[in-house]
Amino acid sequence: MGTRLASKLNVGDVSNPLAALARQNVAETDTKTIVWLGNIIGKANGLSYRSNNFGDEPSVALTGIFETVPAFEGDDIVRAPSLFMPRAIQAMLVEAMRGSDPAPVQSVKKGTKLDVPGKEIKILFQVGCRRNSATGGAGYEFVTNQVGEIEKIDVLESLRAELATGKASPQLAAPAATPQIEKPAAEKPAPAKSTAAKKAPGKKR
């Protein structure tokens, strides 16, 4: 498993759906079994309005940093600065990012884009797939679940918390404790040896 950089990310980058369905032995007639491919995670902090080849209304990408978390070994992690989710989910995310700010009124010329900042939100979605027997289709469809609620990020929140608790305030280091040196116990003087010469025992007559 490696990491691959891309210019944009979508649900199809998590894993190969047909390969995953075959790997899990899902029959071609089974359109109910869902195989989970992994997750898309990231942080969005802006929107990018881009010219759309399929209509006059521009496509809107979320911008920030995003990456896939594959469920199967061997699939690469894909990391990108822009994200396109399925249409309904993308519209919900764009609305959350835009908030009360209106969409830009100027049109986006073909081959160009207009990047605007937005509210910062966390991105966490579970991505799966199941077979689709529709005639002329790809043979599968993606299933996407949002994990948790769309949560706005306050990048200064953690710093404010540190200031409130005093963790971020400069503090002087406490002086090092003076080492206590243990004095060796006083030795008792050894008893003095007698220097008097011992008399040799006399011979008996």
Chain length of the chain: 205
Tell me if 46 sits within 8 A of 113, measured CB to CB.
no
pLDDT at 179: 47
pLDDT at 131: 96
Domain that holds residue 102: 3-155
Please name which of 38, 98, 95, 24 lies closest in space to residue 70, comparing C-alpha atoms: 38
User: CA dist 39 to 10, 12, 42, 191, Å?
Assistant: 11, 11, 10, 86
Distance CA 51, CA 194 (A): 114
pLDDT at 119: 82
Residue 111 forms part of a structural domain? yes
Per-position DSSP letters for 88-132, written without gaps between them: HHHHHHHHHHHTTPPPP-SPPPTT-EEEEEEEEEEEEEEEEEEE-
Residue 129 forms part of a structural domain? yes
pTM: 0.71
CA-CA-CA-CA dihedral for 90, 95, 96, 102, to nearest 10: 140
Residue 165 forms part of a structural domain? no
Based on the structure, what is the number of domains in the chain? 1
pLDDT at 109: 78
pLDDT tens-digit profile, the chain (205 residues):
799 999 999 999 999 999 999 999 999 999 999 999 999 999 999 999 988 776 667 789 999 999 999 999 999 999 999 999 999 999 999 988 887 777 775 667 777 888 988 888 999 999 999 999 887 889 999 999 998 766 665 556 666 677 777 655 444 444 444 444 444 455 555 555 555 545 555 555 4
Distance CA 106, CA 112 (A): 12
Residue 8 forms part of a structural domain? yes
Residue 147 forms part of a structural domain? yes
pLDDT at 153: 54
pLDDT at 108: 75
Residue 202 forms part of a structural domain? no
pLDDT at 17: 96
